[in-house]
Structure 1
């Protein structure tokens, strides 16, 4: 058996739900005085799958708490079989859990659980993202008055934006804070949640709809600060500029934004 053939046979063995190895693979190996080839391969097979489950337990603690250990392991074992690891780093193993849950379970069971998976994965993405160059209050203080109207911002690389239809954030917080686990429920209106990393710590903030709309205008619609003030003036009148400055200050203190150079 050539090396590439042996590698493919060993890969197929690891990915097979059963621990039965190809006879050619068994014949290519030599057992030891206390451990035969079949037992050694079975140990390796079980250890590999146990390691994959361990990674998913770490990435999705809220889902694990919701389902319990046994049901979580059963669900994630099915996920691994349908979406085997294809990246050299286990960091990407859980990337598709949200989509998988959405497809695999009926909507009555899976919609809220899938949204929780997306939320938990967003924290992983935020933690691993590049640092970027957040715009700070001190930097803003150096801007000349004529630079303010044309100011444009974009999200820092770690920013994740989610619109939650369920009380997913409350469910996640209850697990994080070891509080009473709330019943999942559909919200009257979607809740916008922003997740980001600052100083190696992930943070989150739930935004009321008006502030979420304003942040969306600057992040995704390319509005300048002057255009944002004009948009808000239609709703809030003379207080629009003060409200825009207040929100901008919070975004900068949180470390959410980078400046888009003119």
Structure 2
């Protein structure tokens, strides 16, 4: 058996939950006085799933805590069977978990479970996102009047913007701290939540509707002057101050960079 054929046979055995190794594969594996070839292969078969299960537990700790050990393991093994790793990096293993949950769980658990999964995956994506030079407060201090008027920004690549329909943040925070989990309840209105990486640490915070609307307008191409105009009906002559206050917060958070 060629090396490629041997690798393919081993992969087929490891990725099939109920498979037995082929006779040809067994012939290629040496036994020992302690283990037969079949027993040795079974160890790899079990270790493969155990490693994937551990990765999902690490990437979705709040979901794991919420569901409990047994239920989470059942979900994870069903997901691994349906979506075995398709990338050379194991960090992409959980990419389709929120999608898979739609086939595995029914309402009323489905929507809050999927939302929690998306929130946790956002942290993974934020941590691994491409580096970019964020706009700094020091740079802002050197702005001329013309710089302020024409300023345009964009979100850094690590920013993930979610709209939450449930008290998912409270559930996530309780799970992370090991506290008693709150009951899942729908919010009176959707909550804008940002997840991003700053100084190698993942950050998050929710936005009030007005701030969320202002930031969304600003990062899709509006200039600072246009942002002030947008805020004028509500804030009148205080519009530039409100815009500058929010901008200072966004820059301090490390979520903005120069935009085109």
Shared fold (TM-score greater than 0.5)? yes
Higher mean displacement: 179-188 or 99-108: 99-108
Question: What residue in structure 1 maps to residue 242 of structure 2?
Answer: 243
Shift, 1:235, TM fit: 2.6
Higher mean displacement: 20-29 or 244-253: 20-29
- Tell me if 1:9 matches 2:15: no
Question: What residue in structure 1 maps to residue 40 of structure 2?
Answer: 40
Question: What residue in structure 1 maps to residue 78 of structure 2?
Answer: 78
Shift, 1:118, TM fit: 0.4
Distance in 2 (alpha carbons) for counterparts of 1:150 and 1:99? 41
Partner of 1:222, secondary structure, is: coil
Question: What residue in structure 1 maps to residue 166 of structure 2?
Answer: 166
Distance in 2 (alpha carbons) for counterparts of 1:155 and 1:260? 8
Partner of 1:10, secondary structure, is: helix
Can you list the C-alpha shifts for 1:40-64, whole angstroms capped at 9, x where unaligned?
0000100010000000000000000
Pairing 1:1-262 to 2, within 5 Å after superposition: 1-219=1-219, 221-261=220-260
Distance in 1 (alpha carbons) for counterparts of 2:103 and 2:170? 24
TM-score by length of 1: 0.96
Partner of 1:108, secondary structure, is: coil
Distance in 2 (alpha carbons) for counterparts of 1:186 and 1:192? 14
Distance in 2 (alpha carbons) for counterparts of 1:15 and 1:110? 27
Kept in 1, the 8 Å contact 2:221–2:259? The answer is no
Shift, 1:178, TM fit: 2.4
Can you list the C-alpha shifts for 1:114-159, whole angstroms capped at 9, x where unaligned?
1000000111111111231110111011111111111001011111
Distance in 2 (alpha carbons) for counterparts of 1:89 and 1:141? 42
Can you list the C-alpha shifts for 1:206-243, whole angstroms capped at 9, x where unaligned?
10010001111112x21111111111112322221111
The runs of 4+ residues in structure 1 deviating greater than 4 Å are: none
Aligned length: 260
- Note the residue ranges of structure 1 that are not aligned, 5 or more in a row: none
Shift, 1:176, TM fit: 1.6
Kept in 2, the 8 Å contact 1:102–1:110? The answer is yes
Kept in 2, the 8 Å contact 1:194–1:204? The answer is yes
Distance in 1 (alpha carbons) for counterparts of 2:123 and 2:211? 21
Higher mean displacement: 238-247 or 41-50: 238-247
Distance in 2 (alpha carbons) for counterparts of 1:77 and 1:87? 18
Higher mean displacement: 20-29 or 159-168: 20-29
- Note the residue ranges of structure 2 that are not aligned, 5 or more in a row: none
TM-score by length of 2: 0.97
Higher mean displacement: 175-184 or 223-232: 175-184
Distance in 1 (alpha carbons) for counterparts of 2:177 and 2:233? 41
Kept in 2, the 8 Å contact 1:59–1:120? The answer is yes
